Amino acid sequence: MDLTHERLLEVLHYDPETGIFTWLVDRAIAVRKGKIASKRSIKIDGAYYRTGRLAFFYMMNKWPIPTVDHIDRNKQNHRWNNLREASRSLQVLNRNPSKRNINGSTGVYYIEKRKNKKWRVKLRVQGKSVYRKSFATKEEAIEARKLVEMKWLSTLK
């Protein structure tokens, strides 16, 4: 990354309470001093930077290694108290359920093909299966998934 902290402070202001960046300089006809910068990515000196990463860089004077995670899973909420430096494993654990997910909980699914139909919980961390167990009810499975996920979240950074 070629962007320096000094350059970032010259061109943008970040409000940690709101998570909003505003321009400190006129950049183009559509980008004027005082105007709110994009919530997804911001172009500075010809390069695009994700807003969450810029917020981290702005506040810490260092780039997040390897990435930034939005604690509340809302990728447009760049408030400082909602951002954390995270490994890829932590970020994956903190993602929303897939659009194909019909039960509302990541890693919980129903097995119909077996004789004793059950709800299965599966958790993978860093590409390895670390938890797999079956439950009689959906509620038990979701609760177990939450507990084991919290355990793993506390160990990852």
Q: Are 68 and 99 within one domain?
A: no
Q: Are 133 and 61 within one domain?
A: no
Q: Are 11 and 58 within one domain?
A: yes
Q: Are 64 and 13 within one domain?
A: yes
State the total domains in the chain: 2
Q: Are 75 and 107 within one domain?
A: no
Domain that holds residue 111: 90-155
pLDDT above 80: residue 92: no
Say what the alpha-carbon torsion angle 99, 110, 70, 3 is, to the nearest 10 degrees. -70
Q: Are 41 and 60 within one domain?
A: yes
Confidence of residue 114 (pLDDT cuts 50, 70, 90): low
Give the predicted TM-score (pTM) of the model. Answer: 0.71
pLDDT above 70: residue 55: yes
Q: Are 79 and 31 within one domain?
A: yes
**Residue 128 is inside which H or E element, if any?**
strand 128-135
Q: Are 105 and 68 within one domain?
A: no
CA distance 22 to 12: 6
**Residue 14 is inside which H or E element, if any?**
strand 12-15
Q: Are 64 and 10 within one domain?
A: yes
Which of helix, strand or coil describes residue 42?
strand
